[in-house]
Every structure is written in C-alpha cells, then in structure tokens.
Amino acid sequence: MAADEEKKIAAKREADEKNSKSARQLDLRQKNGPAATALLNLFSDGLKRTVLGTTDKPNTSSGINMETLFPDFAKWNAGLSQDNWKATDVISEVQDYGAVNWKGRNLDGIVVKATVKMASAERGQYKDECFLFGAVVDKEFQMVRDPYESKCNETQTSAQWAAGHELKSLWVAN
C-alpha cells in the first residue's frame, strides 16, 4: 500500500515540475519573444536569400551573409543542384536565445533551427534537411561573432557552443 502511495506522490511531483517548467518557458518566451524574433529575422532573411535567392521583404539588405559566416552550409547549398535537388522553402525558428559572455560583456546569443524543404523532379521525391546555426550578436559593433553550424542531429556542437559562451537561456526553461 505504501509503495503505491509513494508512486502516486512521485508521479504528481513529476507532473507538477513539468507544468511549472512549461509555465516558466512560456513566460520566458512571452517576455523575450520580440528580441529573439528580431535576431531570428536576421538569420531568416539571410537563409532565404542564400537558399531561395529571395527574402520576404522587397528591396532589403537586412540579414546576414550566410555564405561567409557558415561556409559548410554554403557548400552544401551549392551542391544541391548537382544532386538534382531544388530548395523550395526554408523554415526558421528560435532553438535557443539568451545572454552570453563575450570578453566580459553581456551580448545576445541565438541558436536558430532551419529546415530546408527540397524537391527532386528527377527522383520524384521530397525531403527536408535540418541545420542549427548559432552566433553571438554584438549590436554595439554591428558584428556577428563566433558562429557555428551543424546538422540538427549533431546537438553536441550546440551544447558545447552554449557552454563555451556561458549562454544563460532566456528561451528554454531548465
């Protein structure tokens, strides 16, 4: 009897913690959504320009230069047509956002998850490729610092980058 009671209490405690974490995360995202979205848009515009040759905004030079900051991604993108794949869309979302320590200064850090949707007429197939892009955004000097790139399944790179920059997440509740 006591064992059943302990299991119920443990299950309730776990459910409470999960609800509390979800509530904290929702609060973080509501509070920091505008700042995170502004940084996401920089990446999103650069990604669309690189992959699709367009952006959602006409005649804009906003966005970052993906080819310079993320050479592995640029190389992958350049090889698509040789493999008979054509990118049809790019969907970007904030994976993590927060404050990072850059040489004693608190700056914005962001990790963007980008899914490139592709089609191959020759194969009669669709497929998606998922990438993570992280960077320190230094608004004061108008620089994007210490970028990293990886495939979505290589989460260790993202974790190492976040730890190395002492990322204090304002997006994901721990």
- 10-residue block means of pLDDT along the chain (174 residues)? 77 71 86 91 90 65 80 93 92 95 94 96 95 94 94 88 92 85
Would you state the pLDDT for residue 125? 96
Strand order in the sheet with 143-151: 143-151, 125-138, 105-120, 86-102, 168-169
Would you state the pLDDT for residue 63? 66
Would you state the pLDDT for residue 155? 80
Query: Model's pTM, two decimal places?
Result: 0.81
E-assigned strand segments in the chain: 86-102, 105-120, 125-138, 143-151, 168-169
